[in-house]
Amino acid sequence: MSRMRQRVASRLKESQNTAAMLTTFQEVDMGNFMEMRVRHKDEFEKKHGVKLGFMSVFVKACTSALQEVPAINAYIDDEAKEIVYRDYCDVSVAVASPNGLVVPVLRNTEYMSFADVERTIALFGKKAREGSLSLDDMTGGTFTISNGGVFGSLMGTPIINQPQSAILGMHATKMRAVVDEKGNVVARPMMYLALTYDHRLIDGREGVTFLKSVADKITDPSRLVFDI
């Protein structure tokens, strides 16, 4: 095993042995954001020099929901036996590299725009492929987003990245039959979201409230504009 693989294995097992992990699920209709992305992606890329992907809307939706439900962004200080609440959002984003999975950190995402998020993720992806990510790039983080959907995963239960208290798992977008507001069965692009959280710190109410808030903001991206 490579040193990186040994370290990843050690951290994952440490997380399993430490946290009381529970996973809750929610489905989200990606249709409105996908339509908005098609309308504006060319203009977005022309202005900002980076493509508009899915990660930026999820990072911004999670950041907003973290501010609404502070327990998801907190952690347990085992030595002091205290819960520490953070007033900032540093979102770790899982990125595949030739040597394995790496998790660089987007700092202070509460102040980042969609373009800032996409630009920084693109930079991290380039660094990961070149093997030039530094320890500082991957240190810290208050919450993690993992996108198994890029590999076709329909549903999974991600493992918390210690000492964080929760992780969001994104999955593949698939056309599925759903019942609309008028009672008609229609085909919509749907994604399953999974939130694994540490039940020692986060109750079911907080976990479900957070995940439902993320899903609502993705389903109706205008909620991000109006901060609701």
Residues annotated as catalytic are: 199, 203
* Rg of the Cα atoms in the chain: 18
Cα separation, 11 vs 149, in Å, equals 23
Residue 172: phi and psi, rounded to 5, are: -65, 145
Burial class (CB in 10 A: 0-12, 13-18, 19+), 145: buried
Compute the distance between CA of residue 148 and CA of residue 127 in angstroms, rounded to an integer.
Answer: 20
Q: Are 166 and 195 in contact (CB under 8 A)?
A: yes
**Buried-exposed string 64-86: b where 16+ CB fall within 10 A, e elsewhere:** bbbbebebbbbbbeeeeeeeeee
